């Protein structure tokens, strides 16, 4: 990953990547779930006009850092502050302790701020994605976690609309199918672990169109954490590129595609692995305990309350001078 980023930066004249960038991108796992919100019809039996439910979660080799659901037009988000601090920013003992304090203090918020309390503790809460600016302002002005973490939390509020729009999901499925049916050549490539392997060759521009929603989502999720993009438009849209498919029991189960093929000669290799499976790793139902939408106003009050607690703790003359989680 580091070699790939270094090659692109040198070629495009961009800033030199760090090993931390490479580590995060190498560990990045993006989970997307799409299905029938009523769990009554198989996805392949649904029509383009039928509603879909969707969910996305992101982690860096550990617990999910952020997640978003779109269920029948309602948007739910989850942000794990302590996971972000620990896994993304590699927080030291003091930073991890501060994040733990934050989550613990959030759990003590009064019932009048129940939805904001749940959100700050990392539970699923319903939000209005069209109020993103107000959420972002509340987080940026009143959080004590620092600018980077504030932007991560605020960015989660902008998800849902474009990412999980049912019409966009149907377009993705249609474009992917069209790419495999038109202008692509397929060749058997043997078997592996009980799966039939198929090599697909098609023009780079066609592959980009087919994978564009996924690659855009991958780029946006990385950019949220300040990571350099791993996807660049094809240098030559007509150049032939190759993907490898794994088919089990007549069903596509895995796609492997080298993103370096888009960069032309000398771009290096970067295999992107996509695993497709049945089932639902994220529940496609609305959290039953949530009845209210998180408002920017409640989020502001909750963050102001937590900031006051944090300031009082730091100004306490009786506070022991012990680093990390042993500090009262």
**Region of residue 54 (phi > 0: left; psi between -120 and 50: alpha; otherwise: beta):** beta
* Percentage of residues of the chain with pLDDT beyond 70: 76
Tokens for 131?
Answer: 């109020």
Rounded distance between C-alpha atoms, residue 277 and residue 75, angstroms: 24
Give yes or no for a contact between 87 and 63, defined as CB atoms under 8 angstroms apart. yes
Is it the case that residue 317 has pLDDT exceeding 60? no
Rounded distance between C-alpha atoms, residue 300 and residue 304, angstroms: 6
Higher pLDDT, 145 or 212: 212
Task: Please give the average per-residue pLDDT across 267-276, as a whole number.
Answer: 84
Of the candidates 167, 195, 209, 173, which has an alpha carbon nearest to the alpha carbon of residue 43? 173
DSSP secondary structure, 263-306, as one string: G-TT----EEEEE--SS-SS--S--TT--SBPPHHHHHHHHHHH
At 297, the pLDDT band (50, 70, 90 cuts) reads very high
Question: pLDDT of 304-314, one tens digit each?
Answer: 888 887 777 66
């Amino acid at each position: 990953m580091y070699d790939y980023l270094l090659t692109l930066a040198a070629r495009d004249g961009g800033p030199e990547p760090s090993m931390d960038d490479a580590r995060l991108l190498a560990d990045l796992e993006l989970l997307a779930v799409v299905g029938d919100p009523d769990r009554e019809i198989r996805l392949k039996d649904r029509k383009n006009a039928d509603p879909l439910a969707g969910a996305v979660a992101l982690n860096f080799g550990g617990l999910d850092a952020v997640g978003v659901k779109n269920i029948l037009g309602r948007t739910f988000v989850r942000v794990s502050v302590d996971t972000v601090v620990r896994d993304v920013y590699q927080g030291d003992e003091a930073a991890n302790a501060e994040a733990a304090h934050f989550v613990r203090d959030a759990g003590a918020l009064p019932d009048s701020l129940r939805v904001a309390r749940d959100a700050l503790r990392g539970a699923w809460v319903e939000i209005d994605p069209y109020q993103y600016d107000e959420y972002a302002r509340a987080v940026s002005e009143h959080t004590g976690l620092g600018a980077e973490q504030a932007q991560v939390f605020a960015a989660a509020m902008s998800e849902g609309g474009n990412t999980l729009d049912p019409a966009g999901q149907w377009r993705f499925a249609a474009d992917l199918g069209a790419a495999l049916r038109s202008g692509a050549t397929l060749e058997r490539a043997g078997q592996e672990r009980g799966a039939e392997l198929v090599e697909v060759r098609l023009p780079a521009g066609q592959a980009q169109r087919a994978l564009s929603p996924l690659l855009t989502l991958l780029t946006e999720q990385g950019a949220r954490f300040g990571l350099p993009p791993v996807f660049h438009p094809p240098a030559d849209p007509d150049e032939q590129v190759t993907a490898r498919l794994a088919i089990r029991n007549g069903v596509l189960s895995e796609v492997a595609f080298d993103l370096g093929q888009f960069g032309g000669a000398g771009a290096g290799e970067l295999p992107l692995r996509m695993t497709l499976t049945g089932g639902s790793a994220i529940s496609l139902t609305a959290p039953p305990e949530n009845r209210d939408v998180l408002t920017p106003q409640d989020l502001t009050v909750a963050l102001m309350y937590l900031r006051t607690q944090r300031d009082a703790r730091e100004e306490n003359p009786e506070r022991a001078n012990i680093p990390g989680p042993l500090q009262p």
